[in-house]
Amino acid sequence: MIINTLLALIRFAGMVVLELALAILTYVYLALYDLETFGWLVKLSKAIIDSAISWMGFLMPELSNRAYATLLGELGPKAMLLLLVGLIVGAIIRFIAWVLVRAFKRA
């Protein structure tokens, strides 16, 4: 039981490191070699931040100024893009791992 727990923790830590490394490499690749897509994604990230601010203003008008000054004001479009790239890369890696595990269990 302890060995299984340790193996699960090691697998979890390995997945986190792999996701982080691939997310950073994806971000760097986009920033260096595909500037058109990178610029489009930064604009999209800015639109996501702006829509979050407008929804927050609509749903909680008394808290929107504080939230913008603290949380959303600190997140620039590039930071939001890095966050989104990390989430997408992590989802893809986890999906691939899930498919591989299911394929090996059937074999």
pLDDT digits (tens, 9 = 90+) for 70-101: 666 677 888 888 888 999 999 999 999 999 99
Give pLDDT, residue 73: 67
Q: Where are the alpha helices (DSSP H) in 1-107?
A: 2-33, 35-59, 61-67, 77-106
Q: CA–CA separation, 58 vs 98, rounded Å?
A: 39
Q: What's the whole-model pTM score?
A: 0.76
Give pLDDT, residue 71: 64
Nearest to 87 by CA among 56, 53, 54, 41: 41
In the predicted model, residues of the chain with pLDDT beneath 50 are none
Q: CA–CA separation, 32 vs 7, rounded Å?
A: 37
Give pLDDT, residue 13: 94
Give pLDDT, residue 53: 77
